[in-house]
Amino acid sequence: MTVMICRECGEKLILRSHFDACCTECGSEDLDEQDAYDPVQHELQCDYCGYEVDVSTAPDRDWSEQETLTTPTSVDDPCPICGSSLVPRVGASSVNELPEYGVAREAARKVREEHGISGPPFDVEQLAGKLGLEVATGNFEHDGMLVGEQRIEVPADAGETVRRFVIAHETGHFVLRHRGERSKVEPEANAFASELLIPRDSLKTQLARTPSARALRAKFNVSRQAMVYALMSARLIDQVRP
């Protein structure tokens, strides 16, 4: 007899012959001997944008306009927001190296309220000006950058929603006084930009009025990717339709 563990559901099985080829609980054929078992990690996290998912729970309802947003099922799937790799949360970096999303969002709320920026849509370029930042447009060889302490460079070919996100993102770097590893500061700037462009309280209010993803994007004047990020971060993605 051999003791096996099902990698799909974790069920322990006793195989009495080689003909017992599948789990009696879930039917999976993905079995390992108990001594060699490496538990499947259900809680995953994107190593770039910080998206989190528990693959042991039912997936969020898919929604799209021309393409389907697919909920990951394992580390083999890419992050549905930014396309980067998913890793087990238990293997994530130490606390000091992890992005502080709550701090970033709170900073965005505070700076928006202090400078009286109303919306939606929220005028992030006006906010940048109030903070003493110059927004320069040109043929730059980058996708957007905070140069020095007071200049945000935006590529001339950036569409309106991309331009708005770039300004919000780089403003986040400025407000949060970012230094250090990209793996920490970039996700924080994304969280800051998301809260600045799509404040969570405002998103909930608008969502109660209309569950249309297209209408929400138009109301906040943001890209599909930015709206997906905001909805998934707020655990509201299952409340919208295309």
Quick check: 92 pLDDT over 50?
Answer: no
User: Which has more pLDDT, 229 or 55?
Assistant: 229
Task: Go through 177-195 and write b for each residue having 16 or more CB atoms within 10 A of its CB, e for each that does not.
Answer: ebeeeeebbbbbbbbbbbb
- Choose between 74 and 194: higher pLDDT: 194
Query: What integer pLDDT is reported at residue 154 of this predicted model?
Result: 95
3-state secondary structure of 232: helix
For the segment 125-151, the average pLDDT, to the nearest whole number, is: 92
Residue 221 has pLDDT above 80, yes or no: yes
Prediction pTM value: 0.64
Report which of residues 61 and 100 the model is more confident about: 100
Residue 71 has pLDDT above 50, yes or no: yes
For the ranges 30-44, 67-81, 121-135, 160-174, the lowest mean pLDDT is seen at: 30-44
Please report, rounded to a whole number, the percentage of residues in the chain having pLDDT higher than 90: 42
Handedness of CA 174, 179, 180, 184 (dihedral sign): negative
Taking 90 as the threshold, does the pLDDT of residue 94 lie above it?
A: no
pLDDT for residue 159 is more than 80? yes
Question: Higher model confidence: residue 96 or residue 210?
Answer: 210
**What are the boundaries of each domain within the chain?**
2-36, 41-92, 96-239
In the 3-class helix/strand/coil scheme, how is 66-96 assigned residue by residue? CCCCCCCCCCCCCCCCCCCCEEEHHHCCCHH
Name which of 198, 207, 200, 196 is nearest 240 in CA terms: 207
Tell me the C-alpha distance between 30 and 5, whole Å. Answer: 9
As a whole number, mean pLDDT of residues 138-157 equals: 91
